[in-house]
Structures are given as C-alpha cells and as structure tokens.
C-alpha cells in the first residue's frame, strides 16, 4: 500500500491539470498513488489526464456533475494509502511538499492532520501572496488549534492539507448537500477533534480563479449550515469566535443577495465583541452601501488587490 493517496478533484481544469499532475510526479517522495475524480467535465480535462503517464493513476469519471464534495468523497473511497493528500485540479505542489508532510508526521507522531502554508497566485502567475498563520515565535513547524489560527485566513485548504485516512471514520466525509463551502464544514469537524501539525513555509500554490463555483452561488442557503455547532460553541470560545466571523461573512453575503431574513438570523447570533469595529459598522450598514463597497472590491480585484471578508 502507498503511504499517500493524492486525491485530485477535477471539473473543467483542462488548462491546468497537466501542471498539477506534473507537480505530483516531481515529488521527492514517491510513495504515492494518484486518484483523479473527474466531475463530468465539459472541456478537454479528460484528454489531458489520459495523455499523462498512467502507472500511478487511478482515474474515475462521473457521468453527471455531482459537486466537489461527492468528487472528493469518491476519491477517499478509492484510496488505499494511510494518508489522504488533497489537491485541486488547478493547484500545484513544491517538489518537497510531501517530504515536508513526512517531516511533520515524524515530528508530531500524536497528530493526524497536517498542512503547510500556501501561496495564492493569479492565473497569470503574478501577484503571489502567502497564506499562512500568526507565528510570533518564528518557528518552522507548529502544533495549532484550527479555530484560534483561522480567524483571518483558514489554516487548512483543499490543496495544502493531508489527513490520516482513519480521521474520516471519526468525523465523517464531506457533506454532499453543501454546494459551496463544504471544505469549511469539514475543517470545523476536524478542529473539534484534532490539533493541526503545520509548516509555516509555503509548499503549495493555489490558483486564484476570477470566476469560480463560490462566485456563482447567490444564496446563503447553499453555504454550510453552522447551526449544528451552536451547542458546542458555549463551551469553546475559539469555536464561538470562528463561527461568529463566519456568521459575519454569511450576513454580509445575505445582504448582498437580498436575503434580509437570513442576514438577520446570523446577526442575532453574533457576539459583537468577536468582531472589529469596522466589521460591526459594516454589519449594520444599509444594503446599498455594502453593495457599493463590494462593487469597489471587484474593481480592486481586477487590479490585483483583494480585500478579505474579515
């Protein structure tokens, strides 16, 4: 059995999948199997996948589009390795990514979830920025609480995280009812049970897509429901703050998408002390003002300047 099962989810990634696969082929650690699940792509993704060396590839194609959660769940089901290494079909790894994960596994033997910092890049490769955690002691490897370390940026991403396969027996798989944000739901469940062994150096690259499934969603009903975790936040201050930051994001999105009842639902559950003054002001701003600000945000994004929700 291989040590790592690299699970790659693909939907219309024909222009990127070769580069993604090549980054796996170039790993200094080669104790891997590569599982590609094609979510009924309508472009040339399959042609590009089949043109690559197939010795270590297990390829599965859905006949109809099922979504990212079902795609990743199928990859996990097909995996025979001890560790699930997640990778999206347009992202890449540094040649030493799996070597660094192996170091984390060795250095943190009681941990079951491992991740590295990640670099965000535009499709044109310009304007890279690092996506990491607060690190006042300037250490290269850390054991971190997911919630406490994800107030600004999530500590885990779908291309920089490796999960021991037994973890899914404890927390369950991706929730296939969630259309967008199924990662966040999984990360919450991981955070409730496990500390994260984290490398502060970037060994992965995330390709920022101007158009994505997330941007096509126009209702908070399609985002993860965090109601299931409300009873737990009473005894977990870090979880409470993390959920309030997510409620803030959801409330703003609901206002933008003309869902006032849903916006108020989230606002009513937020402890304002968990937000900054600017966040509180934005939360109570009139909808037209929020739309104007986010219109400016889109212009800034076109110029390569992205504003975080938090």
Separation between Cα atoms, residue 108 and residue 294, nearest integer Å: 42
Domain final residue pick, 159, 182, 213: 213
| 45 and 193 assigned to the same domain | yes
Establish if 126 belongs to a structural domain.
yes
Q: Tokens in use for 215?
A: 């941007």
Q: Which of 213, 246, 271 is the last residue of a domain?
A: 213
Based on the domain organization, do 111 and 194 belong to the same domain? yes
Digits of tens for pLDDT over the chain (310 positions)?
Answer: 789 999 999 999 999 999 999 999 999 999 999 999 999 999 999 999 999 999 999 999 999 999 999 999 999 999 999 999 999 999 999 999 999 999 999 999 999 999 999 998 765 554 455 666 777 677 899 999 999 999 988 999 999 999 999 999 999 999 998 888 899 999 999 999 999 999 999 999 988 765 444 445 667 777 776 888 999 999 999 999 999 999 998 899 899 889 999 999 999 999 999 999 989 998 998 988 888 877 776 554 554 444 443 3
Confidence (pLDDT) at 137: 72
**What Rg value do the Cα atoms of the chain yield, rounded?**
19
Residues 209 and 247 placed together within one structural domain of the fold: no
Contacts of residue 16, defined as CB under 8 A and 6 or more positions apart, other chains included, come to 89, 90, 207
Within this chain, do residues 29 and 157 fall inside the same structural domain, yes or no? yes
Query: Does residue 104 lie within any of the structural domains?
Result: yes
What does the pLDDT read at residue 121? 79
> Does one domain contain both 86 and 182?
yes
User: Could you tell me the pTM of the whole model?
Assistant: 0.90
Q: Is there a domain that residue 307 lies in?
A: no
Distance CA 244, CA 129 (A): 26
Claim to verify: residue 9 and residue 90 sit in the same structural domain:
yes
Same domain, yes or no, for 187 and 222?
no
Same domain? 239 vs 173? no
Rounded (10°) angle between helices 182-193 and 237-256: 170
Q: Tokens standing for 29?
A: 């650690």
Residues of the domain holding 236: 218-302
Q: Which residues contact 271 (CB under 8 A, 6 or more apart)?
A: 240, 244
Sign of CA dihedral 115, 158, 53, 26: negative
The predicted pLDDT at position 210 comes to 54
Out of 175, 197, 213, a domain closes at 213
């Amino acid at each position: 059995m291989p040590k790592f099962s690299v699970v790659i989810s693909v939907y219309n990634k024909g222009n990127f999948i070769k580069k993604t696969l090549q980054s796996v082929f170039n790993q200094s650690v080669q104790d891997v199997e590569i599982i590609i699940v094609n979510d009924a792509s309508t472009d040339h993704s399959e042609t590009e996948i089949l043109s690559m060396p197939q010795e270590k590839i297990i390829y599965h194609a859905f006949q109809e589009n099922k979504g990212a959660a079902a795609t990743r769940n199928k990859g996990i089901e097909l995996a025979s390795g001890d560790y699930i290494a997640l990778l999206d079909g347009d992202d890449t790894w540094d040649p030493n990514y799996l070597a660094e994960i192996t170091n984390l596994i060795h250095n943190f033997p009681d941990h079951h979830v491992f991740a590295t910092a990640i670099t965000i890049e535009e499709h044109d490769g310009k304007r890279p920025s690092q996506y990491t955690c607060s690190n006042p002691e300037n250490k290269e490897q850390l054991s971190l609480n997911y919630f406490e370390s994800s107030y600004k940026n999530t500590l885990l991403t779908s291309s920089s995280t490796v999960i021991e396969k037994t973890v899914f027996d404890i927390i369950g798989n991706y929730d296939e009812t969630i259309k967008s944000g199924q990662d966040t739901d999984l990360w919450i469940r991981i955070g409730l049970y496990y500390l994260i062994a984290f490398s502060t150096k970037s060994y992965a690259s995330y390709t920022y897509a101007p158009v994505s499934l997330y941007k096509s969603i126009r209702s908070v009903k399609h985002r993860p429901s965090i109601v299931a975790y409300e009873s737990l936040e009473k005894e977990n201050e870090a979880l409470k703050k993390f959920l309030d930051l997510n409620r803030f994001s959801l409330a703003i999105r609901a206002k933008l998408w003309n869902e006032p009842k849903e916006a108020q639902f989230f606002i009513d559950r937020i402890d304002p002390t968990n937000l900054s003054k600017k966040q509180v002001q934005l939360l109570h701003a009139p909808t037209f003002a929020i739309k104007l600000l986010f219109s400016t945000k889109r212009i800034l994004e076109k110029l390569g300047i992205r504003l975080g929700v938090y």
